[in-house]
Amino acid sequence: MTAITQSTAHREVAARDTRFSDELRVAGMVWERELIRYTRNRTRIVSGLTQPVLFLFVLGYGMGSLVGSTGGFNFRQFVFPGVVAMSVVMTAIFSAISIVWDREFGFLREMLVAPVSRTALVLGKTAGGASVAAVQGTIMLALAPLVGVHLTPLLIVEVIALELLMAVAMTTFGVFVASRIQKMEAFQVVMQMILMPMLFLSGALFPLSGLPRWLMVITRLNPLTYAVAPLRQVIFAAQNMSPAAQARFAAGVTINGYVLPIWIDMVIVTAFALVFFTLAIWGLSRTE
């Protein structure tokens, strides 16, 4: 009897291991599909860089003449981390449009009726979208010398890690929204209505200090604020900023006079990602 029980237990463990490996393989295939889509669409790569580049140079030089510089630190250097974040966020969210595309052409239904869990599908979509978004944001780092931002190897590694966290959070958000929308046109309209306010209210294009109270409250309620702030903090830490420049171009999020450390920002972004990862699984589970 003992031998039979042990044999049954071994078979159950082997079955669980097999299912787990199958789920990982499915997630890997979905991730690879997203990467192939990205690399084969050069127009998407170029278009994903156009708007951030316009903000960096057109807005940077235009506003720079009004804002001026403090201690040799100017508005273009300040806005650079925000523009990198903008590139990551826009690419991450709009990578989820492939779900709506797949729904219109019937491919999503084939994936949903396959004997795989929704978790594996969402994991693959999230990994693919986050990878593409991080690559897109990293390409923007090549523009750093043109605006006087100094980069080091360690800084690049830190920036890529923060880009990945930000990309995962925004991709899960995009996947959840896409799971509840039927048409591509509707997805684009909804995401533009959500994305632009989130970006403008995240402090990506202006300092978070010295704001009116009503605007300060809104920026602190915006989860994207806590994704942009760490990126700006690590980039600013590698620059030779004077105390006056640090005071004028504040990098961190301040709540009741307390500047949140980077790890708290990361915890908030991680919690946001986990919530919308769960909601994305629920959304796909309810997709007909």
Q: How confident is the model at residue 110 (pLDDT cuts 50, 70, 90)?
A: low
From 108-112, 189-193, 257-261, the region with the lowest mean pLDDT = 108-112
Average pLDDT on 136-140 reads 88
From 1-15, 162-176, 202-216, 241-255, the region with the lowest mean pLDDT = 1-15
Give 30-48 pLDDT, tens digit per residue.
Answer: 777 777 777 776 776 777 7
CA distance 75 to 131: 29
Q: What is the sign, positive or negative, of the torsion defined by CA atoms of 154, 143, 138, 240?
A: positive
Q: How confident is the model at residue 9 (pLDDT cuts 50, 70, 90)?
A: very low
Q: What is the 3-state secondary structure (H, E, C) of 9-66?
A: HHHHHHHHHHHHHHHHHHHHHHHHHHHHHHHHCHHHHHHHHHHHHHHHHHHHHHHHHH
Q: Check residue 212 and report its DSSP letter.
A: -
Examine the pLDDT at 106 and tell me if it is beyond 60: no
Q: How confident is the model at residue 10 (pLDDT cuts 50, 70, 90)?
A: very low
Q: What is the sign, positive or negative, of the torsion defined by CA atoms of 178, 182, 187, 188?
A: positive
CA distance 57 to 140: 12
From 3-17, 37-51, 68-82, 129-143, the region with the lowest mean pLDDT = 3-17
Give the structural domain span for 228. Answer: 2-285
Give 224-245 pLDDT, tens digit per residue.
Answer: 999 999 999 999 888 888 788 7
Of all residues in the chain, the percent with pLDDT exceeding 70 is 83
Examine the pLDDT at 13 and tell me if it is beyond 50: no
For the chain, what is the domain count? 1
From 126-130, 176-180, 257-261, 283-287, the region with the lowest mean pLDDT = 283-287
Examine the pLDDT at 127 and tell me if it is beyond 90: no
pTM: 0.83
Q: What's the pLDDT at 14? A: 44
Give 245-287 pLDDT, tens digit per residue.
Answer: 787 887 788 888 788 889 999 999 999 999 999 888 887 776 5
Cβ 103 vs Cβ 183: under 8 Å: no
